[in-house]
Homo-oligomer: A and B are copies of this chain.
Amino acid sequence: MIEERYHHGDLRQALLAIAKQQLTSHGFESLSLRAISREAGVSHAAAYRHFPNKEALVAALACTGFEQLQAFVEAEVMQYGADPREQFFQCGIAYIKFALHNAPLFRVMFGVSGADRLQYPATHAAAQASFGVLVGTIQRGQAAGLIGAGEPRQLAFTAWAVVHGLATLALQDQITSQQGAIDSERLVRNSAKLLWNGLKYGQA
């Protein structure tokens, strides 16, 4: 029987999958290397053959998160291939959608241990790549004459900041908890338009 073999086959992958599962079901705080290994039917020290420590496991998890994010945003954006303005909007909306639907993972991606992300090249690269989607959208907007001049990376960075800020604050339950019960969908739309106005008139 295949299940009882000494070597797992692809333990690294399995650990990551289980980790993601436990992350979403039990939260980051109670993410435990031992529990993950247990679930994988493997001893608690086996994980150390694939990750130098827990932080590395988490970083790898974040890496997959960025890949997912990029794939998701790209897919959503591509549905509006003709309209750079709507592409730009969808970029942000997709980002926030992803954050809200994958809250714990999103928090890991930008989480506490994110400070030393440079230590994990793969994770860092994945993050950069996902950023590239936004840059591309902006560049298309500029090419179409819908976005004013400016270094696209910097414009993208500002746009990213808006959307990332909204996502973060939304996850904080800060949106719904504001008295007045702000509608998040409308909020995103409004913010995007606001930003779009700013972009149209360029920086100066």
Contacts and interface: CB of A to CB of B under 8 A. Distances in A.
Contacts of A124: 177
A154 B193 CA distance: 13
Contacts of A171: 114-115
A71 interface: no
Interface of A is mostly: helix
Number of copies: 2
A168 B110 contact: yes
A17 to B, nearest CB: 21
B172 A114 contact: yes
Contacts of A111: 111-112
Interface stretch (A3-11, A74-82, A136-144, A155-163): A155-163
Nearest to A200: B197
14 contacts: A29-B113, A115-B173, A118-B177, A151-B180, A158-B191, A160-B169, A161-B169, A164-B168, A168-B168, A193-B203, A194-B198, A194-B203, A195-B198, A197-B201
Interface of A: 28-29, 103, 107, 110-115, 117-118, 124, 127-128, 151, 153-155, 157-158, 160-166, 168-169, 171-175, 177-178, 180, 182, 187, 190-191, 193-199, 201, 203-204
A185 to B, nearest CB: 13
A197 B62 CA distance: 35
Given A197-B198, A201-B197, A115 B160 contact: no
A204 B169 CA distance: 23
A117 B175 CA distance: 12
Contact of A107 (B112, B118, B128): B112
